[in-house]
Amino acid sequence: MPVESWLRAEEVPDLAARATAMIDAALTGSGLTRESYWAAVRKGYNTPYNDPPRQRATPAQPSAVDTPAGDAVEPVAPAAVVIAAQAAEARAI
């Protein structure tokens, strides 16, 4: 059914007057003005259905740990440790 056939032109003014009266009756005693009502309607239609994605908080960066004073130990590469362990094991066999 096309939209044009839903309403006849002679019905439009009567329907508009009835709708205006219903809105005015609903606003009576609410403290809202006609302008604030329609502003709320426009905001509702223009607001997206889904909330915008939240920004995740950046994880806390670990603080630097002070090393005790004394002889500095150089870090050993993991590959070197594995090779040394295999060599020790081979010598034991």
Domain ranges within the chain, ordered by starting residue? 7-46
Q: Quick: pLDDT tens for 67-89.
A: 565 566 666 567 777 788 888 87
What torsion, rounded to 10 degrees, do the Cα atoms 65, 70, 72, 78 define?
-70
Report the distance separating Cα 23 and Cα 37, nearest Å.
9
Q: What pLDDT, on a 0 to 100 scale, did the predictor assign at position 18?
A: 94
Question: Maximum distance among all alpha carbons in the chain?
Answer: 107
Report the distance separating Cα 76 and Cα 3, nearest Å.
80
Q: What pLDDT, on a 0 to 100 scale, did the predictor assign at position 81?
A: 74
Q: Name the pTM for this structure.
A: 0.39
Q: Quick: pLDDT tens for 5-53.
A: 677 888 889 999 999 899 888 888 888 888 888 898 888 888 777 777 7
Q: What pLDDT, on a 0 to 100 scale, did the predictor assign at position 14?
A: 93
Query: Do you know the residue count of the chain?
Result: 93
- Look-up of token digits 């440790």: 81
Report the distance separating Cα 78 and Cα 87, nearest Å.
14
Q: What pLDDT, on a 0 to 100 scale, did the predictor assign at position 56?
A: 80
Report the distance separating Cα 44 and Cα 40, nearest Å.
6
